[in-house]
Structure 1
Amino acid sequence: MPPARRKKGEGQWALGYFTPLNPNEQVKKDDDGLNVRQRVLDLYARHGFDAIDGQDLRGRLRWWGLYTQRREGIPGGQTATLEPHELDAEFFMLRVRIDGGALSLEQLRAVADISTTYARDTADITDRQNVQYHWIRIEDVPAVWERLEGVGLSTQEACGDTPRVILGSPVAGVAKDEIVDGTPAVEEIKRRFIGDKAFSNLPRKFKTAISGSPRQDVVHEINDVSFVGVRHPELGPGFDVWVGGGLSTNPMLAQRLGAFVTVDEVPEVWAGVAGIFRDYGYRRLRTRARLKFLVNDWGAERFRQVLQDEYLHRALPDGPAPEAPAPDARDHTGVHEQVDGRFYVGAAPRTGRVSGTVLNRVADLAESVGSDRVRLTPQQHLLVLDVPGDRVEEVSAALEALDLKVRPSTFRRGTMACTGIEYCKLAIVETKQRASVVIDELERRLPAFDAPLSLHVNGCPNSCARFQTADIGLKGMLMTGEDGTHVDGFQVHLGGGFGEDAGFGRKLRGLKVTADEVPDYVERVASRFVEQRQGEETFAAWVARAEEGDLV
């Protein structure tokens, strides 16, 4: 009788599986991704794109925010068939990490100047509060780094298997209704752990969110670890801890640990959760390497126990769950009074797409009214803080003149889009411009529509624009047109969302629309919602009870 086979592990370091189990793990074992910076400075920036080692080009450069850009003219049907080198352009997308979305005017001007000088005036506000450039040459990267680091910004660990940018409430420290200001925790995590090689080789990306706002404005349900503001009946204001959220092709909502931490304890607990991911996270199969799979297998109770016993070496107190925010409360567009009597003004660009030219004008505008602070949001929006009451209308009008809508339509306010095929090597269809056209069409066709509605347009299944959690989520795909040729299209997801009834959108069998049909489809479904809506019913609640025929 042959000996029993040893069960194959998941590649967890804590269980003794240190042998690299896939090519990505081998690359990280060969050299820490943070080390590529010196090769950029000494070699690649001097000798150009062709000098870049392949493992650095499509691997370690991500540790410094760099992804190769999609070569122009490659159709979506070839995204999954061409070799990586055939998809690469000799330009880069470069992501600037802006933890908490907080920028001084000096920082904003640096971001803007890099855009106009090195990135062909491109700048996208992402749903991670980053700014993303395109058309960056490797020869210019040292100058870009010098400019950013001179004002306290960086691209370090903006991508890669690392702790990515920390989402923070865009109104931290200024909102009248804030439970607790999470800014000190964001800054301490950044100071102590970003760039620390103890956390620079994680199984996959690691996403963090910290907000003490009752609006719950950092999509805590889909981050690897989140700290959500609550008031403990005995211990006062602090945070409720959530772990294991994530989207992409296997979406999962985060689970509450039921543990309460103060703002001072957040960094230590963050390091414990990140340490569990590093040590117990699955490394054998990259498709199972996100923290959500470990949390799903372990459950919240076991995860909390390991965190307390092996990493914190103390028990955490139980705490209350956060109260559900009002529908659509996470958004910060419009004019809002701050705790100090001044105002913040929130504006919606078109799907996060701005430019260095526009950002410089925003900086000039803020400075003209005595403000030195701008914030970016997880909804791809922008806020100007500290506006005097008698200058609010002036600021609002000036932002509107830049096509940054302070009083946006429902469709401008709720539409997000990922980078799409214009620049992204993973995309199948175009997104940004298409979403912009949809906004214009719906504003023209449904001018009186004012119910909250989110429309998220994604160029592939990876959900960078969070299509599963939108009222109407569109996942890019190729469809067969009437003449038998491939045309851009979308699979439709309906009724996703966050908050008390958080969940993923409903997929109806065969519900797909071509790109050209999107305005007609959204108009049709939005109109039926208005006709059948009961009181203040949300779109997601209507979708849950609607007849299938009303959703097609």
Structure 2
Amino acid sequence: MTSPPRPASRHHKRPKGEGQWALGYREPLNKNEENKKNDDGLNVRQRIIDVYSKRGFDSIDPADLRGRFRWFGLYTQRKPGIDGGKTAILEPEELDDRYFMLRVRIDGGQLDLRQLRTIGEIANTYARGTADVTDRQNIQLHWVEVESVPAIWEALEAVGLSTTEACGDTPRVMLGCPLAGIDAEEIIDASPQIAETVERYIGDPAFSNLPRKFKTAMSGCPAHCTVHEINDIAFVGVEDENGERGFDLWVGGGLSTNPMFAKRLGVFVRPDQVSEVWAGVTGIFRDYGYRRLRHRARIKFLVNDWGVERFREVLEKEYLGHTLPDGPAPQPARGGRRDHVGVFPQQDGNRYVGFAPRVGRLDGDKLLAIADLAERYGSGRVRTTVEQKMVILDVPPDRVEALVAELEAADLQVRPSTFRRQTMACTGIEYCKLAIVETKALASDLIDELERRLPGFTDPLTINVNGCPNSCARIQVADIGLKGQLVTDATGAQVEGFQIHLGGSMGDSPGFGRKVRGLKATAAELPDYVERVLKNFQGQKNEGETFAEWVRRADEADLS
């Protein structure tokens, strides 16, 4: 392992091949870095407004189309009819459709009536009605044409929303607890810190050219719903020995093909210091992050190489100019599920009502219907979660059951089965150019089949379905993680299927899912496989034992 760098004021070397700016290596070492040096991604906005929206898809510079467009939440979607076996073979221009996925940035998952209705209307007008809630609290639209983008931006920005830095090598949407300021057991409300950090730094050229994507979470949720363990940077609510409430700082989490859990720096961050500390950590990533190889360009690799002591030293000496006090670790997460599905009390005596769309799939009409329900039964405040779910706030106790009935009539379940509640799926081959298999419809069908076969199953259980190895749906930390790939069926044909990861978890006993040698299933075999392994779990589990705990001790035969 290479020795970590010392503060910039001293002489130190790291191999030039890593491309770290702080060490004087500014020449781009790959095409992505060259594109960013040639022109900041933020500058593409005006070209979209002035040129591309007027001249159409064929006028778009390829460096903008497959690069800088992401700085404003735009990706070309997959051309229909291209099977998963072609994903890694075809050139980008062969996979590109002439339509875009557009990601609406919803920091902290907070929406009001005007915002939610605007997204629903945009979905119906410009996106063929599509709208998916993601596991990062965004809403994604599809079938967007470049000609429509300026009008979409104008509508979003009129209600305080944006797509700025929703994708790209930037600070992406900042996760927050959907019950921030509301949950009766909350440690601290991080909403002001999210709002301040977004206001100060999103769209700032100082942070618009990072080595890779940069994911943030800020929360005082007692259930730890923002999954701080797998974010690049996370501020977790804590109370110190003097009763002062602030944040514990975590850095270097991330999944994809080389998963790592975030590490505690062991510092106590006061609420008024959060934006400054965030900028310091992000600055370290910008300046010291590895820019040569895209697959090693996340901050987790830097943190892993340096260690937390060196990272803290560089943060305090080079970026903050002062030390941070030591602080306590977060308390264990409340309860066995980290979502907010169901009916729960608020601080003010009202209730919040969390509900489960099918694997995050909605549409414009349903968004408008949710807005109507939030207006009639609550105050109009709606939240998105990091589990592809939604929450209506401020419901008087005597109106809860009427709201629940209307939500469930729209197939938005408030008291869902474990399978409906905790199955998540990425976009998949339907729209994604990286995907190998279909995900959304398969996961929805799997929910129905498991509900039919195992109606009495009530244990918490996450099933995360991913269309490729990149883990957008967090397969390594799921109880059952399904990584899409082509597999051979009984006839010898190549068909859609999954490599299976079992027993991943976060929280008190974090661990990445266990891969049983050769354990794969075709899409058609999945219901039989999941039913079999869950029946084994039910027959063998000890009192209070979770699925992940059972997997760690189970025989491979019982997992196959």
Alpha-carbon distance, 1:370 to partner: 3.9
Q: CA deviation at 1:484?
A: 2.6
Partner of 1:511: 519
Alignment length (residue pairs): 548
Give 3-state SS (helix, strand or coil) of 1:270's partner.
helix
Which letter does structure 2 place at the counterpart of 1:316? Answer: L
Q: Report what 1:293 is aligned to.
A: 301
Q: Distance in 2 between matches of 1:124 and 1:283?
A: 32
Match of 1:66 among 55, 60, 74: 74
- Are 1:141 and 2:149 an aligned pair? yes
**Kept after mapping to 1: 8 A contact 2:129/2:363:** yes
Q: Deviations over 1:228-256 (max 9, x none)?
A: 11111126111100000000000000000
| RMSD (Å), alpha carbons | 1.0
- Paired with 1:205 and 1:493, the residues of 2 have a C-alpha distance of 25
- The residue correspondences of 1:77-476 to structure 2 (distance < 5 A) are 77-234=85-242, 236-476=244-484
Q: Is the contact between residue 99 and residue 143 of structure 2 (CA under 8 Å) also seen in structure 1?
A: yes
What is residue 498 of structure 2 aligned with on the other side? Answer: 490
- Would the aligned equivalents of 2:16 and 2:25 in 1 still touch at CA under 8 Å? no
- 1:365-413 deviation digits (Å, cap 9, x = unpaired): 1111242200000000000000111110011111111111100000001
CA distance in 2, matches of 1:511, 1:406: 34
Q: Distance in 2 between matches of 1:480 and 1:370?
A: 51
Question: What is the alpha-carbon distance in structure 2 between the residues aligned to residue 6 and residue 203 of structure 1?
Answer: 17
Alpha carbons 2:255, 2:471 under 8 Å: kept: yes
SS in 2 for 1:479: strand
SS in 2 for 1:407: coil
Percent identical = 66
Structure 1 residue ranges without an equivalent (≥5): none
1:495-524 deviation line (CA, Å, top 9, x unaligned): 001101111000011000000011111111
Q: What SS does the corresponding residue of 2:533 show, helix, strand or coil?
A: helix
Partner of 2:52: 44
Report the 3-state secondary structure (helix = DSSP H, G, I; strand = E; otherwise coil) of the residue aligned with 1:500.
coil
Matches of 2:273 and 2:359 in 1, distance apart? 36
- State the 1:192 CA deviation: 0.1
Distance 2:403 2:15 in 1: 64
Amino acid aligned to 2:426:
C
Q: Distance in 2 between matches of 1:25 and 1:179?
A: 41
CA offsets 1:136-193 (integer angstroms, 9 cap, x no match): 0000000000000000000000000000000000100000000000000000011000
The 1-side partners of 2:172 and 2:146 are apart by: 22
CA deviations on 1:16-50 (whole Å, 9 max, x unpaired) are 00000000000000000000000000000001100
Shift in Å, 1:7 = 4.3
Deviations 1:401-437 (A, max 9, x none): 1111100000001100000000000000000000000
Work out the CA distance in 2 between the residues paired with 1:101 and 1:498.
21
Asked whether the equivalents of residues 485 and 496 of structure 2 are also in contact (C-alpha less than 8 Å), the reply is yes
CA contact (8 A) 2:497 2:523 kept: yes
Which whole-Å CA distance do the structure 2 matches of 1:384 and 1:228 have between them? 24
TM-score for the superposition, normalised by structure 1: 0.98
What is the distance in 2 between the residues matched to 1:230 and 1:521? Answer: 41
Q: CA deviation at 1:286?
A: 1.1
Q: Distance in 1 between matches of 2:15 and 2:227?
A: 37
Say which SS state the counterpart of residue 351 (structure 1) adopts: helix
Deviation per residue, 1:462-493 (Å, 9 max, x gap): 00000000000000000122333210010000
State how far apart, in whole Å, the 2-side matches of 1:219 and 1:349 are: 20
Aligned pairs for 1:538-549 (under 5 A) are 538-549=546-557
Please state if 1:57 is matched with 2:65.
yes
Greater shift, 407-416 or 369-378, is seen at 369-378
SS in 1 for 2:524: helix
> Secondary structure of 1:404's match?
coil
SS of equivalent to 1:450: coil
4+ runs deviating over 6 angstroms: none
In the TM superposition, what is the alpha-carbon distance from 1:262 to its structure 2 partner?
A: 1.5
Shift of 1:327: 4.9
SS in 1 for 2:76: strand
Of the structure 1 ranges 196-205 and 473-482, higher mean CA displacement relative to structure 2 is found in 473-482
Shift of the alpha carbon at 1:6?
Answer: 9.7
Q: Give, in angstroms, the shift of residue 344 of structure 1.
A: 0.3
In the alignment, the residues of structure 2 paired with residue 317 and residue 439 of structure 1 have an alpha-carbon distance, to the nearest angstrom, of 47
Which residue of structure 1 aligns with residue 34 of structure 2?
A: 26
How far has the Cα of 1:9 moved from its partner? 3.5
Matches of 1:419 and 1:533 in 2, distance apart? 33
CA distance in structure 2 between the aligned counterparts of 1:236 and 1:144, rounded to whole angstroms: 43
State the Cα distance separating 1:326 from its structure 2 match: 4.0
Q: Give the stretch that moved more between structures: 175-184 or 228-237.
A: 228-237
2: CA distance, partners of 1:483 / 1:25: 46
Give the Cα–Cα distance (whole angstroms) in 1 for the partners of residues 485 and 118 of structure 2: 37
Amino acid at match of 1:440: D
Q: Which amino acid aligns with 1:439?
A: I
What's the counterpart of residue 4 of structure 2? Answer: none
Q: Distance in 1 between matches of 2:319 and 2:466?
A: 38
